[in-house]
Structures are given as structure tokens and as C-alpha cells.
Amino acid sequence: MLHLHLSSTCEDEWDHTDHLLRKEATAHLESRGLRPDDVVNWAWILSADQPDEVVDRFTSKSSEHPMFLYLEVLRNDLRYIESLERMLLYGWKNPLRRCTEAAASPRSKDPASKVLQDSVFCVMISRLLTQVRRIWPSAMTSVAHMASTYVQSLVAVRGEDPDNLSCRIHGIICKTINYMFPLLALPASINPLQNTTHNWKAQKVLLELAGQYNPPLLLDKDSYQAVIRVLAASTKTAAESEAAAHRSRTWPPWRTVQDGMDAQRSLDDDLSRVLLAAFSSNEAGYRENSDDLAMKILGGQEMDGTPTIHTRQLVKHRAKQPGETFAAVNADSDQKLWAARVEATRDVREAWQAFVFCRDVCGRPKLALYLAMFRKLNSELARQGRKTKYRSLPGDGKEVLPVPDDNMSEFYKTHTQPPTLEALYHQMISSGLRPSGQCLHFLVRHARTPTNGLKYLRDSGLHSQALSYLFGGDENDSAPKYSSSRLVNDVDAHTLDAFIHLICRSAPRAVLARSERAERYKLNKARTYWANQQPKLKAPKQARWCIQDLSHVSNLPCLQDPIKHATRLLNETRSTFRPAWYTLFEALARRDVVISREHIRGPRNGKLVWLLTRDALRNFQECGLELDPGGFIWICHSFFKFGEAAQPVFEEYEVLLANGAQVLKDEFAKLSGSKEMPYWIPRLRHNMKSATLHMYVRCMGLAGELNEIISVLEWMVHHRAELEESNRQAKNGSKMLRRILVAARISMYGTEHEGRAIELMEQVEKWEWPDDSELESYSSYSDIEGDEERLI
């Protein structure tokens, strides 16, 4: 502040107080080995307009900065992984390096002064993990190793024997790692379930550290709960999946003996890692609370020891807020306990029985319990509407099984039949509850109709002007009288994302309808060349192309042109929440979306979709956001749809397709960039999945970019360890890997590039170049996937 005051005033105009303050400040700095120029430099660093520019300035100076400046830079929300990488490297090369140097020379002058204070270290770790969870979850392990390095240096500097720690240093170290465990349990901002593997890897670093000392480091209650929450959200092991498959369809779901091996297994062999960790907490002497019991239920066991369904679930811990009574916290925890009972079921009837039992025992349910039941009801609707076969073990996801009611009487079926989602929602409203938070986000995102979604928003108590702005103006408003800056403050990012998802689902679609049903579903017949010229389409002769348009359900502007309205909302609010943009990208990538009603399913419509996608990507990047594989795959889908439609008239769109292919190549180069990094920092900045690589290879094959396909195969060979790890996390990872290779061979068939591709495959023992039978199978599958449309 003093610097800003003096720098804004000419020195000739300083009064006596200004000169005195300047003199005292200079003396204070010099006593700490600093100069006034250092303050000028710090002010220059922090005065940058964007957080990533602050990092650029911070790391552009070769000298080491004071710790407070490093912590201040970490307070800002970084948007680029490269910026975070620099901050991680700085942390390792400066604060942590001083710690390791002090540990290597414990007899040097005052080595303890070179080691960070534990409070400063904890602040640094907390801020680094906040950044990592937002944009680079795979770097959690590097931050966890910082704690390991810090603890080891702390022991060495104090001259302690790791095999016989003093009570004082043991207590300091335990306090440090117990501070970190809950931080490492917090989920990533995007794709939290998929990124749980990084949470678990980071926690294992601290668990291994705890066993390296004598006495072993002690975990407190919060640390045990943090480990349990991560295990509850982690992918099931093979043994856990097998145990789930052997559960009977009765309730409680006791294990069924299917062979002699099952008969020899004890009940303890079926315990999940969640339960084993919970039992370890009990053995350590910690008393169970409602949160612990809820985690046990999700882990596969009730309070009385009877089994439930081990369910993979992301559970967030909410600490007691200032001014909040313990009675309110306990009531919230009890509702979470009952919500866990609803979640740990296999079908909608089991879930409803758990809901009714809670209502009878505890009285009026709260939002957490209603949300759990809403999820089950929505999953049942999704199961009923699923056209393809889908097999998922109980508890692996949100999917539910069919209700086994073959041997049930009609009276019992009627008595235990759960209500519809809308009926349950009306019960909730009648009880005085209003949708908010996760419940509101879920309801809006999964609303069966646009009208229902808009009703949920109105019922939530959102400001009327905010609603008007979201809807594009009420029926009686000529224009919304509301600013986008106010919308950012009144509507949280998740609600905006859910709303965009809702209206984009209402965008006009091209559907193939039987003529006798067209009027019934109020479909508009498409009278265009491209709508009627589909030579490869295998459909009944009476079927015709129609436009499914939901704008008639309401005259709100947001439903007249949903994609245009969603684009306007994102542009005007300058949203920095990536999933909201990805929702728009996904809507544009949908195969049947209609932008031009005169050219549905033709190259003109595909061109307009691609141009909108390209513009949306540019706007996304102008907001300071960085594309990740989750968004890149939708960009690829939009391009592929355009290129596929343009094949009959390729020459007309050749330039635009070439430019589009270059856009994809530039983005892929950013995503796939890697370099060997020290300090356990990942060499890949993004976790590239086989599904993303497959779509990219198809796009490059369509554009004739065979050299780029070879580059992708070279990248895959070089990073096969990371790719195989990613495939192990995905259920269809190995299948998608084969599809990449098949798509690559189809694109390069009979060209000189195929020889180079075969050489690359020979470098990996488990990879084989596809044979002709795989090409035929893949081509027939692609034809079905691309040409057969849903008949209404």
C-alpha cells in the first residue's frame, strides 16, 4: 500500500510523513536483506490482469521470491496447466529444495531456519491442491510427495532417528499428514469419479510414509474418513465386482453359493475396501458417527451386519459451519444415512421401500433423501427407454436392474409400486421443501420436458429477473431487463450448466418416423433433397424424415432456438465453467441436430454446425479456458459429422474441411504434448482416453491426413504405459484401442503409410495390426451406427 501511495505521487510533492515512511520502510527491508526495488518488482508481478499472466511474471525472474509472494500467486484461479506446472516446479526447486539441503547438512549453521514452518507448508499444500483439483488432477501425487519430502527433511534437521522418533517431532509430523488426508479426499472439479484414481494414488504416498517411522504415524478420525471416502468413490476391484455378482435378488442380498469355491469362502472374503478401512478406524478406537455408518452402508454392510449393495458413490464431507448448531449437523448426517440406504439398492422398488421406511421412522424427509430417490427413478426411466443391451453389475454406477416381480401378486405390486418422479416432486413441494443445490441441478438437467425443467427453476426461488434472463424474457417482456454480470452472481455455474443442458436437449432434431405416427408425435415433414435422398438407409418404405421440434410447448425465446440461446448465455456471462461449454459442444455434435431446416442431414447443415462449433471454441478460448480431452472429443464429432455429410460434394467444401482438420491438429498438439518431468510431475498434461484417440483418427482419415495418423500411432507407442493405465480404468478401454488401430488401417489401406504403421505395432508386444475380418466387422458396425436412426 505504501508503494502504491508513493508511486502515484511525484517525489517533489512528498511531505515530511512520506519521506519518514519511506526511510523507515527502506530500513526495515534492508534488515531482512531486501531493497525497495524488490517491492517494486512484487507490485509489478501482482498487478497483472490475468492469473496466468501473474505466473508468467513471477517465473520470469530468476531470483527466488519470498514465500508470501508465492502463496499470494497461488490464491488466484489458474486456467492453464502450463502455469500450474511452473508453480509446482518452483515449489520443488525453492521452498522444498531448501528443506532437502538443510536435511543433507544438519550440522550447518541454523539448518532449522531453512525448513518451512509447518503452518506455512500447510497453506502452500492447500493452495496447490486447490489448483490441481481444478485443472490437473493427475498432479496430486506430486503434491503428496512434497509432504513426504518435507517430513523427511524435518526429521533429519532435528537430528531424529526414524526408528525412534521423539514425542514432539512425532506429534508435529502426525499433525501435518492428518491435515493433508482430507485435502487429498476432495474430488476434482471435473469428472470427479474418473479422477478418483489420482486421489487414491496421492493418499497411498502418505500411507506408505506413515509406516516408515517408529512409532508409526497415527491417523486421526478425519484422516480415516478421508481414506474411506476415496475408496467409496474408486473403481471396484475384481474381487469386489465378483462379490456383487454373487448377491441374491432377495433383500437383504445374501451371497449365493454357485460352486465349491464359493462354499469355501468366508463372509470376510466378500468385504469391500470401504468396510476394511472402516473396521480399521474402529480398531484405532474412534467412535462411529452417522457419516461412518453411511459409508459402511455404501460399502456393503448395514449397522446390524446384514448386507447391502456395495455402491460406488462420490461422498462430500461438509464441515460444521460457523454458527451452526450440532443438532442441525446431526440431522443432516442422519438424512445422509438414510440416503445411503436408498442408494445402496439395485432396483427402484428396493429404493422406494428404503425411502418409505425412513419416512415412517424419521418423519419428513429432507433434500438429500429426495435426491437419492430422484436418481433411482430417473435411472429406471433410462433403463426402460434403453434400446441396446447393457450389462452393469449392481453398484458400479447409477444403473438399476429390472424389478423381479414375476412371482408377486398384483396387490403386492400395486402396494409397493413407487410413484413417478413428478408425483414424488409434488410430495416434496407439498412438504415445504424447495429444490436447491445438487437436487436442483439434477432435476433441471434430467427434466423429462422443458416445461418441467423451467418449473423446477421457478420453484427454487431464483430471482425473477434472473429467471427472465435465463428464459430469454417472459412472455410479456419485450427484452430481458437484466445484466449478465448479475446472472453470474445470482445463478451458480452448475445451475447454468444444467439449464443449458436442458434447452439444448430441446433443439430441433431430424428423426425417421413412420408415416402413420408422424401426426401423432406432431412431427414436421422435411421436404428437402437431403432429407429424402438417403441411398444407404435401410428403413421401411413408409418411413420419412421429419423434424422433431419442441418449441411449440412454450413460447419462451429460449426454446425457439435453444442452441443460439445457449451460445448467447455463455458468451455474455463469460462463463469459466468448462462443463457448461462442453454441454454446448455436445449438443452441436449430436448427429441428428438441425441447424438449417432446409438442409437437414446434408452438408449445408453439417457446415453450419461446424462453423458454430468453431466459433464456440474460439469464444471458449477467449474466456481464458483450456480445452481438455473431454471437450475435444465433441469438437471431433462435429467435424466428422460435417465431413461425412460433405463426401458426395467434397470439392465444394474441400477448403473448409482442410481448415477444420488443421484446427483439430492444433488442439491435439496442445493436448498430447509431453515432456519428462522431475518430482513425480506427470509427463502428460492430459489423460488421453482411447475413445478420444479413436474419434480423432477417424477425423484425420476422413480429411486424408495420413501423416497425422502415423503421428498419433507414434504417440501411442511412446506413451503406451499411460494409455494402458487409462484403458484399465475404462470398461471398454481394450476394445476402443483395437478400434483405433482398425480405423487407422482403413484410412491407410493400400498406401505406403501402412508399412510404417506395421513397424510401430511390432514395437509393442500386445498390439497387433488388424486383419481384413476386423475391417469388415468395423465397417458394418459403422454403417449401422451412422445410418440407422430411431424410428418413432
**Residue 475, pLDDT score:** 43
Let me know whether 457 and 588 are in one domain. yes
**196: nearest Cα among 142, 146, 236:** 236
**Residue for cell digits 424447495?**
434
What pLDDT is attached to residue 532? 46
pLDDT tens-digit profile of 591-607? 888 887 777 777 898 99
Has residue 695 been placed in a domain? yes
Same domain, 396 and 444: no
Q: Residue 184 and residue 129: Cα distance in Å, rounded?
A: 8
Q: Is there a contact between 646 and 657 (Cβ–Cβ < 8 Å)?
A: yes
Contacts for 529-534: CB closer than 8 Å, 24+ residues apart: 529/602, 530/599, 530/600, 530/601, 530/602, 530/603, 530/604, 530/605, 531/600, 531/601, 531/602, 534/601, 534/787
575 found inside a domain: yes
Residue-level pLDDT at 538: 45
Is 476 within a domain?
Answer: yes
- Sign of the alpha-carbon torsion through 270, 275, 277, 281: negative
Q: Coil, strand, or helix at residue 510?
A: strand
Residues of the chain with pLDDT under 70: 1-25, 27-33, 106-114, 259-264, 318-332, 388-390, 473-485, 487-488, 513-543, 550-554, 780-792
Pair (183, 253) in one structural domain: no
Does any domain span residue 634?
yes
Same domain assignment for residues 96 and 147: yes
| 530 closest CA partner among 439, 602, 591 | 602
Strand order in the sheet with 509-514: 509-514, 543-548, 524-525
CA dist 405 and 417 (Å) reads 11
Number of domains observed in the structure of the chain: 5
Q: How far, in Å, CA of 333 to CA of 292, rounded?
A: 10
Asked whether residue 335 falls in the same domain as residue 449, the answer is no
Last residue of a domain, one of 370, 385, 417: 417
Are residues 169 and 115 in contact, defined by beta-carbon separation less than 8 angstroms? no
- 648-669 pLDDT, tens digit each: 898 899 999 999 999 999 999 9
Kindly state whether residues 455 and 505 are assigned to the same domain: yes
The pTM score is 0.89
Q: Are residues 65 and 153 in the same domain?
A: yes
Identify whether 617 is part of a domain.
Answer: no
CA atoms of 98 and 100, how far apart (whole Å): 6
Q: Which three cell numbers stand for residue 108?
A: 550447518
Does 76 share its domain with 178? yes
My answer on whether 517 and 476 are in the same domain is yes
Cis peptide before 307 (omega within 30 of 0): no
Q: 3-state DSSP call for residue 558?
A: helix
φ, ψ for residue 216, nearest 5 deg: -60, 150
* Residue 614 falls inside a structural domain: no
Structural domain harbouring 696: 626-791
* Same domain, yes or no: 721 and 786: yes
Residues 559 and 595 in one domain: yes
Q: Same domain for 43 and 54?
A: no
pLDDT at 85: 96
- Is residue 27 in some structural domain? yes
Question: Is residue 125 assigned to a domain?
Answer: yes
